[in-house]
Amino acid sequence: MKNVLESFRTSIRKETSGVSIPFIAFGAALNLSLGQIAGLLKLPVYLDSIGTVLVAVLCGPWAAVIAGSVANTIGSITFSPPSVFFIPTVIVIGAFTGIVARHGVFRKWYTALPAGVIQGLLAAAVSAPISAYLFSGITLSGMDFLVMFFRAEGKSILLSTFLQGLIADPLDKAITYTAAWVIVRQLPHRIVIRFPRYENVFPSSD
């Protein structure tokens, strides 16, 4: 047990050293700032986990978990307090993305998009019980009519919330992953090789 804990500590330390610290903070803040860009361009795009994905690609899963949790906490400090209850979802998103990124999923769009869909399913599965129990499925994300529809069909709150998630989340995460692929594809070599997980972006370099 001792060395497992030790290896956790070293890998966390590796992913949160030097260059990564400010970038993780940026990743968290980016999650909260995408709404402003979407508003400027009047696009119904949500993309509230693109910061977490970029941190996962460049710094690794632990860093992505930190970025996601910090973004969520600050979201509840500055905007809607209940969002802090969704930290488990954010942890799953960060961990999954970090692991998937290591297999170079973000280097091709036809691997990024399906990974996004899987991510969406995972996120829906994890957030459904929380949303069902605490909010009886209401999220104010514009998808609440779906929950009402499934409820009217006689399904339980948990099932209705889960089905709503199955429809909304994979689409949103697929868009987020594809957008991340567009960004990862255009990152500068000189800067990326300074990050702990640079091989996720430039595998062939020394």
Partner 1 sequence: MNLRTKDLHHVYAGDIHALKGISLTIAGGRCVLLLGQNGAGKSTLLKHLNGILKPTSGEVLVGETNTKLHDAAFLAQFVALSFQNPDDQISSKSVVEEAMFGPRNLGKQDPEALAREALRMFSLEGDANTHPYDLHPSKRKLLTIASAIAMDTPVVAFDEPTAGFDVTQRCLFGKALERLKERGKTVILVSHDLDYSLQYCDSVILMDHGSVTFHGDKIHLLSRPDLREILRASGLGLPILCRMSKAIGLRTAPSSVEEFVQLLHDNRTI
Partner 2 sequence: MAHPIITVEDYSFSYKASNKKALDRLSFSIDEFECCGIIGPSEAGKSTLCYAITSVLPHYFSGGKTEGRVLTAGLDALSTPMDLMMKKVGLLIQSSGVFLSGIKPTVREEIAFSMENLGISRTEIVERIQSVMEELGIESLAERDPLTLSGGEMQRVALACVLALDPQVLILDEPTSSLDGEGVRDLRLILSKLKGKKTILLVEQRMELLPGLIDSLLVLREGKKVYSGHAERFFSSIGSLEEDIGAPIWTQVCYHIASRGNRTAGTLPYTYRQALKALGTIR
Partner 3 sequence: MRMSSHLLTSKGMRPVHPLTKLYFTVSTVVLCFLLDVTAQVFIACLLLILCVLTRQRRSIFKRFLRYVLPVVILVLLLNVLIYPESEKWISLFGFRVNEVGFHFGLIVSLRLSVMSLSLLLFFVTTPPHLLATAVLMKGASPRIVFVFLHSLQLVTTLRRKIGKIFIAQASRGLDVKGNPFKRVKALFPMLLPLVFSYLSESLERGLALELRGLGIHGPKSYLVELKESGTERVANLLLLLGTSTVILWKLLQWLIR
Residue nearer to partner 2 on the CB measure, 185 or 194:
194
Nearer CB in complex with partner 2: 22/203: 22
Shorter beta-carbon distance to partner 3: residue 74 or 113: 74
Per-residue interface string for the shown chain with partner 3, residues 3-32, x marking contact by CB under 8 A: -------------xxxxxxxxxxx-xxx-x
Residues that bind partner 2 (CB under 8 A): 18, 22, 189-190, 193-194, 205-206
Residue with Cβ nearer partner 3 (84 or 118)? 84
CB of 149 to partner 3, least distance (A): 9
State the minimum distance, in angstroms, from the CB of residue 203 to partner 3: 19
Residue 193 partner contact from partner 3, partner 2, partner 1, none using kind-dependent CB cut-offs of 5 to 8 Å: partner 2
Tell which positions 45-104 bind partner 3, by CB under 8 A: 45, 54, 66-67, 70-71, 73-74, 76-82, 84-85
Residues 162-201 that bind partner 1 (CB under 8 A): 185-191
DSSP per-residue codes, the chain: -HHHHHHHHHHHHHHTSTTHHHHHHHHHHHHHHHHHHHHHTT-----TTHHHHHHHHHT-HHHHHHHHHHHHHHHHHHS-GGGGGGHHHHHHHHHHHHHHHHTTGGGSHHHHHHHHHHHHHHHHHHHHHHHHHHHTT--SSS-HHHHHHHHHTT--HHHHHHHHHHHHHHHHHHHHHHHHHHHHHT--HHHHTTSTTGGGT-TT--
**How many residues lie near partner 3 (CB under 8 A)?**
63
The site map against partner 3 for 113-142 (x = CB under 8 A) is ---------------------xxxxx-x--
Closest CA to 68 of 173, 181, 163: 173
> Are 64 and 97 spatial neighbours (Cβ–Cβ below 8 Å)?
yes
Residues of this chain that interact with partner 1 (CB under 8 A) are: 185-191
